């Protein structure tokens, strides 16, 4: 699996990720959602550079222009609910893409251990298409692997791009061991080294879903 950490190259992405982490700025949930959306837009732009293009003639008022356009079919997917703002950022750029959604969450036991519960999935046919899966946080990587496996039941994509604002090294390693090496690329805004005993990323940013949409019961 190819791993691209965009945070290693200085760009405006660094400011958006820094604001996502900042506990003071996080109090503004609208700004938090917008920053996730902007991160999604940057990932979309970077992914667009990896796609296949064909020359197409476009008629202007004064003549014919030859334009290089991507006509590869794209499926955008996200893990609810935290992934919705990043999904929108991707959709802002890949506005003709088809869409898929996965509902997955951590189900805790009395011993405070958890397993990933996949509740619901709605998807289009992914056969022969570019699949892009968005989730702000890649902690253990377990929910992402389950989401990928569920989505490819509807057809084998040409290539899958996984995008997250912040990943953990443990999550990256888990994906590397459990996803097809040559057909998956992971894009991250930052990669953090640690996980807590409850598998939250350190320093991370907290619970992206709660910060974007309010604390869940």
Domains of the chain listed by start with CATH number: 2-50+74-213 (3.40.50.2020)
pLDDT digits (tens, 9 = 90+) for 7-50: 999 999 999 999 999 999 999 999 999 999 999 999 999 999 99
User: Within its chain, how far is the Cα of 133 from the centroid?
Assistant: 5
In this prediction, residue 198 carries a pLDDT of 81
C-alpha distances in Å from residue 69, one per residue of 45, 65, 72, 91, 92: 14, 12, 9, 17, 17
pTM: 0.92
Please calculate the CA angle 145-208-25 and round it to the nearest 5 degrees: 150
Order the strands of the 166-168 sheet from edge to edge.
137-138, 166-168, 191-192
Tokens of 32: 């938090």
Return the percentage of the chain with pLDDT > 90, whole number.
81
Average pLDDT value for the chain: 92
Signed CA dihedral, 211, 176, 102, 75: sign only:
positive
CA of 216: how far to CAs of 82, 141, 147, 156, 188, in Å?
A: 12, 22, 22, 35, 26
How many whole angstroms separate alpha carbon 83 and alpha carbon 163?
10
Q: What is the distance in angstroms between the CA of the first residue and the CA of the last residue of the chain?
A: 36
For residues 169-203, b (16+ Cβ closer than 10 Å) or e, as one string?
Answer: ebbbebbeebbeeeebbbbbbbbbeebeeebbbee
Give the pLDDT confidence score for residue 103 in this predicted structure: 85
Q: How far is CA 92 from CA 8, 132, 169, in A?
A: 25, 14, 29
Both structure tokens of 103: 């509902």
pLDDT of residue 109: 63
Nearest C-alpha neighbor of 195 from the set 141, 142, 139: 139
How much is the pLDDT for 112?
Answer: 63
């Amino acid at each position: 699996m190819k791993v691209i950490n965009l945070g290693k190259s200085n760009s405006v992405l660094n400011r958006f990720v820094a604001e996502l982490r900042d506990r003071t700025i996080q109090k503004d949930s609208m700004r938090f959602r917008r920053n996730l959306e902007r991160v999604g837009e940057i990932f979309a732009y970077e992914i667009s550079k990896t796609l296949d293009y064909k020359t197409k003639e476009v008629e202007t008022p004064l003549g014919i222009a030859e334009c290089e356009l991507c006509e590869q079919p794209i499926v955008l997917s996200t893990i609810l609910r935290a992934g919705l703002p990043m999904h929108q950022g991707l959709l802002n750029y890949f506005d003709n893409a088809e869409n898929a959604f996965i509902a997955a969450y951590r189900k805790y036991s009395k011993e405070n251990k958890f397993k990933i519960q996949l509740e619901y999935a709605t998807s289009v046919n992914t056969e022969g298409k570019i699949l892009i899966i968005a989730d702000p946080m890649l902690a253990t990587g377990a929910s992402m692997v389950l989401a990928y496996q569920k989505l490819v039941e509807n057809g084998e994509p040409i290539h899958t791009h996984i995008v997250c604002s912040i990943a953990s090294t443990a999550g990256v390693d888990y994906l590397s061991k459990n996803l097809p090496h040559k057909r998956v690329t992971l894009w991250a805004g930052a990669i953090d080294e640690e996980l807590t005993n409850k598998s939250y990323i350190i320093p991370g940013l907290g619970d992206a879903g709660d910060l974007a949409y309010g604390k869940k019961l």
